[in-house]
Structure 1
């Protein structure tokens, strides 16, 4: 499949005329052909208009048709073969093995949502039978969830496949019955076009309205704002910086009809090392922590940016071993020159904090955009009085906090902003302390892990990849896992609707064979 530099608006390929850009090979800082054109305001208008026109037809496709559509996309992505992986590696500097794994994750997300659609549980079909003899009488009441409307999806920089054009936001929105307009990330435009053409073809092959999918290219400050401001768009999925996410939130809230923005933004993902675990597993914890910190050049939203423990001989030994392990880690290429520059700037800013002491560094960078990993340490009191230490430095940078006692550990925990994850390492001997820590972590994080590290997010029914602000703009949602579909649905109640006008999900004979809540009891009847 040839990469053309064109956007995909419905069934058409369009070269944008509002400027242009090339993708960059971050390992060399060299431009990659072809040139991509930026969308004009008319291009954005057309993509959104097509999505609006497609909505009513697409949202009422059968569950089987929608599931088959998602599976067709998954098959098409795999059929791209090495062409996709080679282009993604060139645009991101990520190793082939990582990208092959991410491709598998991407198609598994699509297939998971195909299963979610076929099961139909997401419809939340509910029936409260009429009670004509009651005083006052109760009418027949039935509820199902319907698609919210066309969704704007913003591709992420750090996952060119799994959080991009056909990533979790797109998969869950399409599963819900929402057309999608994607704003491709400028870091991996060729990868985006390859995947976008797969979706465009799947729309045609499955006989769906062309407006079910479009993909735009342009600066987020222009195209992104225009997209979120368009009245046809009813929700937004975003993964990126706090400043970018909040800019979209402001635009969405200032519309004549405000809409929800599900923005995953920033997180430093604290890791708590409780006493007995730290004492009995010192070397293993140090090595596993450094491996997690440096994985993918630290460019994971769940990267462990804080390690918290009570100051002790075991804690000092952990730091010494972690520093030694870090010194063996080669500098890794970051995704873009801009991300690398931000990492260097953030690391330099931390180095200027007087009470923050360097523990160790990785090997020096020897190529453009390569990041040298850094681990620093401070006291609990320093962390509690230095707001800058809570700022995310996106990349392989972490801070160890040595607290004077467990009460200070709790103080540090309470001082944290909202997080995607919080991790606890504990043995059975630590469980009394863990019980005191857990209530606060539940308030602070969307996912709590024990005896692991947060990098790696399973695509599963029980997964939550979200959390209180500023980890996300809406703590009630997740961007990964089956529950991600709930972001793009809303409930509708049908009162005393004639039987021949009821949607299939609510008909008495249950033609979709759904599990339904009928008069308070879950049943297949």
Structure 2
């Protein structure tokens, strides 16, 4: 493991003071004093990225695909070394990290396949119509082109899948954009190891060295500088509402605006319809409990809100849920700061008028540092509707049950919700039609609607939408998970009346790339 920053695929020591990662489970300071990046490092990284962009954006798609696959292969070779360090830095169990490592490798290969096939550029061709009356039509050909250097911020809750070579980096590289990664300060060694894998892939495939840089900083200075830097063309972030909004505000201070794609969390409501509760309250309680406590509740899709109509079946559900939560062992949270924030918020909300605690974990390991205690509270819908603060995300194993008097009040609660990453309906088939208005209103609030499932667990595939109305994300038109995440880092460009040999291959008459293109409103490879 090398503790220096990576500037344009080259290790560079810094004269700035170093800092260390901490094991959140033990409080132990981990091996390695990581060099704090300087402003000059950031400037050089973006200067090199801009130069590399001129070559990288025009590289043959097969070379880009080979590069992404090489990164996946190199990460796979890190094996136990990477898993061990990630577990030490995050407090996450190795089993969970094995799954995350597989997801990271899988999405890199998914983007490689996307790039290799090539049709994702959405080539559209309207050939010239010189004899059209009353006016002729020019030859116009349009496709998506990359934006330029992208700044990626590593996420706290996914040290692999949303970090140095995670979905943001993979989709930006697939789009043809160089990447400058600001490592999360909690995952220094993990970031360094993955960074070394990317360097090997660059060496193997011969892509421009400026395509990748990795910078360390435990303050806001470098991140601020990167966002405001004139050579930065887009920013990707996964984290808190506060952090995402800060980056958005920084982007507004630039002379030239750029897109910031911020995934800022969500409370992911689950609506429990009456007949579903009546028929399977015990099963629903087990499903909800497992989702609430999964990973110590440290998922952006954690169900922080359960909505239902008052009934004896709901009372049984609450008793079943409470019993499961009481028996939940405490778990290490990602950082001491996240743990402190969770405990402060989940305890403070209990002092709100009308809030009642119905369950709290009693299985506590006194030897663990930064440990979670799962909590479930309840409130009437009337009180919830009067207190907007109850929609605040509490990042951790916490959920609030909102009890409505009737279907109309339940619909009013749904209508009051802010934007969400996910929303779930637990229902019997025959009652869906009776709640069509509620479901219709709920669909306006979210990016992904689930039926009789739990929101934790995000499949990496072409159809996935991981992004929703504000404040879950700042741009609900895009996703940060799945192959269509690539569209965040491109823009449309048209060529008019250009000779065929001067056009990009994707737009040439003979279709040398063999991709699907839209011609006369039909997708064809001809």
Q: How much does 1:216 deviate? A: 0.4
Instruction: Number of aligned residue pairs: give it.
Output: 523
In structure 1, the partner of 2:433 is 432
Indicate conservation of the 8 Å contact 1:426/1:434, yes or no. Answer: no
In structure 1, the partner of 2:481 is 480
Note the 1:50-449 alignment, pairs <5 A: 50-134=48-132, 135-363=134-362, 364-366=364-366, 367-449=368-450
Moved more, 430-439 or 476-485: 430-439
Indicate conservation of the 8 Å contact 1:8/1:200, yes or no. Answer: no
Indicate conservation of the 8 Å contact 2:155/2:237, yes or no. Answer: yes
Q: How much does 1:17 deviate? A: 3.0
Aligned equivalents of 1:170, 1:76: Cα separation in 2: 15
Indicate conservation of the 8 Å contact 1:172/1:484, yes or no. Answer: yes
1:20 equivalent among 18, 21, 27: 18
Aligned equivalents of 1:337, 1:513: Cα separation in 2: 52
Q: How much does 1:519 deviate? A: 2.0
Q: How much does 1:429 deviate? A: 2.1
Q: How much does 1:437 deviate? A: 1.9
Aligned equivalents of 1:238, 1:36: Cα separation in 2: 22
What secondary structure sits across from 2:286 in the alignment? Answer: helix
Cα distance 1:146–1:104, how it changes in 2: closer, same or farther (>3 A)?
A: same
Aligned equivalents of 2:227, 2:518: Cα separation in 1: 36
**For the aligned residues, what is the CA RMSD?**
0.9
Aligned equivalents of 1:466, 1:16: Cα separation in 2: 37
Indicate conservation of the 8 Å contact 1:150/1:234, yes or no. Answer: yes
Q: How much does 1:220 deviate? A: 5.0
Moved more, 115-124 or 426-435: 426-435
Aligned equivalents of 1:11, 1:416: Cα separation in 2: 45
1:30-84: CA deviation from partner (whole Å, max 9, x where unpaired): 1101011211110100111110010010011111111111000001101011000
What secondary structure sits across from 1:8 in the alignment? Answer: strand
Structure 1 residue runs of 5 or longer lacking an equivalent are none
Aligned equivalents of 2:219, 2:312: Cα separation in 1: 49
What secondary structure sits across from 1:171 in the alignment? Answer: helix
Aligned equivalents of 1:124, 1:469: Cα separation in 2: 27
Indicate conservation of the 8 Å contact 1:371/1:396, yes or no. Answer: yes
1:231-263: CA deviation from partner (whole Å, max 9, x where unpaired): 111000000111111111111122111000000
1:33 equivalent among 18, 24, 31: 31
Q: How much does 1:365 deviate? A: 4.9
Moved more, 166-175 or 428-437: 428-437
Indicate conservation of the 8 Å contact 1:365/1:371, yes or no. Answer: no
Using structure 1 for the length normalisation, give the TM-score: 0.98
Cα distance 1:70–1:338, how it changes in 2: closer, same or farther (>3 A)?
A: same
Moved more, 34-43 or 298-307: 34-43
What secondary structure sits across from 1:368 in the alignment? Answer: coil
In structure 2, the partner of 1:502 is 503
Indicate conservation of the 8 Å contact 1:200/1:214, yes or no. Answer: no
Using structure 2 for the length normalisation, give the TM-score: 0.98
Aligned equivalents of 1:419, 1:246: Cα separation in 2: 16
Aligned equivalents of 2:348, 2:325: Cα separation in 1: 20
What secondary structure sits across from 2:32 in the alignment? Answer: strand
